[in-house]
Structure 1
């Protein structure tokens, strides 16, 4: 860790472990969590229910032996490793899970999870792949179905006021994330690639208000200490 920052240390710890200390503390106080797979899921609806959205991933998986009983060998490694962790009980702390029509491989996680005794997956939504008036109308219906399913599953009411507050919370979080990225644009940067990735991953692994607080502290720490790293290579990774 190049920058001396307790906020950075905390964010790296959270980003590297889905069931991290921050989340455990939230759960001990009675907080609820809901897993999701990939960012097209409208997290704001889950947040408006008073539930923390947690990004499901198989990055701690050490094999796919159990998942191979549910998937063919041609199924992508990411999906098999993720479901292997579900079978291994590493996501048992979740109180629910939402999926959408990302791809045929990933949607099978939803189908297979529903066959398990302690099924967490309570809703599958469809996200349009085209931009048109018909697609927008369809998406509005899918959003409403997700709201109703989430209300039923968690026994809450998602009001317009709660949804508005959740949108503001997530937008502020994204603004802070953009500020972090802006600090990485010059010849010298503040974070190395691993640190930056873990800071962003922390944003889908803990309560969003606490995450934003840590980001504000981190930004203040980074600016106070100045850029520390002069990259030999500037490499952009992007994609699903």
Structure 2
């Protein structure tokens, strides 16, 4: 396994970047546990300023490494209400939150600015899934399903992403990557990179015509005159953060 890491053999994507990341992770003394690897990764400069640490690529590398080491997840962690991952909010679970298995959340999932959620299995969220910028990361080895979702941060899903209602991906500093199929009742992409092997969703981009916006979205998240309607993306985001649908 160490040999594979040092050659970049475990990580997907750009070969040069994979080799660089592997050498940073495995520099002497070689970490002996996943927890030690996570500590090393998260202790590096925040927000990926060194070009290697602190981004979704390195976070997902840890998820892949855990799957290689321990095999498919067999355990499930359950949260009866909402889950907030944050180092700033009172009562939240501290970041980085590492789940070596599946995760079921009956309520909503909130990953705060600079916080990380890493899960090797599937994540099922009964309510909304939301994150922030800068620095929030959601890295899931399996699939993620949620009622609705608003993302500004970095999200990487190794399986499918299923959003029953509306997926809002906005701002252009981070990206949403789904290695299999992205399904959503409505996908609203506003200056945000969305990459998926397959997409099954009605999609509205930031330059969508006003008539199309009016067809799918509530008046409360639209702005402008009737003939020149535009999306108020912050209003749409707030609807989702309240676990309410911005759709008609």
Name the one with the larger helix percent: 1
Greater length-normalized contact order (CA 8 Å, ≥ 6 residues apart):
1
TM-score higher than 0.5: no
Name the one with the larger strand percent: 2
TM-score (structure 2 length as normaliser): 0.22
TM-score (structure 1 length as normaliser): 0.23
